[in-house]
Amino acid sequence: MLNPAPNVDTSTEIQLLIVEDEPSLAIALQETLESLGYIVLDVVDSAIAAIETAAARRPNLVLMDIELPGEIDGIQAAEQIWNQLHIPVIYLSEQADKRTLDRAALTVSFGYLLKPVTAPELYVAIQTALSRYHREQFLAFEHTRQLDIQRAEMQQMQQLKENFLAMTSHELRTPLSNIKLAIRLLETVLARQDLSSLQDQTTAQALDRYLTILRDQCDQGLNTVNDLLDIRSIDADEFPLELMPIQLEYWLPHLIEVFQAQIQAQLQSLQITVFSNIPALVSDLSVLTRIISELVSRACSYTPPGGQIKVTAQRLTVSQPSAIQAVNSEWIQLQISNTGDDIPLNEQAHIFEPFYRIPQNDQWKYGGTGLGLALVKRLVEHLMGTIEVTSESGWTIFTLRLPLNASPDVNP
């Protein structure tokens, strides 16, 4: 029998569910709880009934007997009730053996009472459990709210950064274009004066060197501005695609031919492999050219003398497609591989971020702005493809997977 209830007052109506298969204990427990001012919604005698009633009645707390008849016991029922409904559970048991306690400890338990239980013990256990539950819910809510605030602030900062970059890029494009035009006009004027006829050859060579520096730096600045604007256009969904069939076995070697002189000058070797079973790839030729050119150019820059560069194209049938591949099982896989220093694993996830540079790389040696791979990733995704990088055992491999047909009618 339960001991008499103390004279207590609950400030709010707390609704409870009793799970107890011994009728006499269940009745005594209900009477004690009601004398304490609690509302007993129901009394059930099995784990299955406990789960179903908790889902239907939504009590504030469940008093769960552990030893219950049926396929599952009270601990298993409590675990399901918490995982599915987030209703706190206090265990009731006549057992205090280590195995039972260990099993209960593996669940989200809000208390463990040994039968027979006194009314004061019940009251303290229930109030403590509900206090803990409300505190944890409040902390979880505050944590979520803080995360939402931080996420909103980050989105606002990202938007401000994008707006600033877009505005700055537009403002820089015109003066850079004017500078490039001025350089061409200056080259034309100096060509008419025939620099080779200047008596001071040192002056002629200096002029030619300075013009080369001006031209290269101006082109780099314009390319950076154009890359920024392209990234902005893709993010704003204002970058239209012009789809056409591309025969990779003819187009890819022709594209790579542009890099042959640089590869030979740097004493590197190049291997191009296009498998024969590849049908025409329906994609944007200009966009694909920019993607492959950027990746091959990067391979040339990071491959040491005597190193190897490989470009491979093959047809890929995805038997278990990911979410982005689910709409099409026919894909083309392009791989650009090169020997050289490995990219550290912790850096590989960041190299597609705008302006990111691998810390240990010599920026003066490799140059660039840190936008190339960021733009490549945006362009690949705009073609509804994926790109990933692996780097180990002296080989760095960029793997592109593009749908055989990038038409929206085929890939909604």
pLDDT of residue 9: 41
Determine the average pLDDT of the residues in 266-295.
Answer: 90
Render pLDDT for 58-81 as a digit per residue (tens, 0 to 9). Answer: 999 999 999 998 889 999 999 999
Shortest CA distance to 29 belongs to which of 94, 107, 122? 122
3-state class of 400 per DSSP?
Answer: strand
Task: Please give the structure tokens belonging to residue 207.
Answer: 């002029």
pLDDT of residue 345: 87
Average pLDDT, the chain: 83
> Is the pLDDT score of 189 beyond 80?
no
pLDDT of residue 200: 62
pLDDT of residue 109: 86
Quick one: the chain helix, strand, coil %, rounded to 5? 50, 20, 30
> Is the pLDDT score of 172 beyond 60?
yes
Q: What is the spatial distance between Cα 84 and Cα 278, in angstroms, rounded to a whole number?
A: 49
**Number of other CB atoms surrounding residue 198 within 10 Å:** 14
Shortest CA distance to 373 belongs to which of 301, 308, 317? 301
pTM: 0.52
> Is the pLDDT score of 34 beyond 70?
yes
Render pLDDT for 213-259 as a digit per residue (tens, 0 to 9). Answer: 887 777 777 777 777 777 777 777 777 888 999 999 999 999 999 89
Render pLDDT for 75-98 as a digit per residue (tens, 0 to 9). Answer: 999 999 999 999 999 999 888 788
> Is the pLDDT score of 324 beyond 60?
no
Determine the average pLDDT of the residues in 190-219.
Answer: 71
Task: Please give the structure tokens belonging to residue 296.
Answer: 């091959």
Residues of 63-82 as b/e, b for ≥16 C-beta within 10 angstroms? bbbbbbeeeebbbbbbbbbb
Residues of 22-53 as b/e, b for ≥16 C-beta within 10 angstroms? eeebbebbbebbeebebebbbbbbbbebbbeb
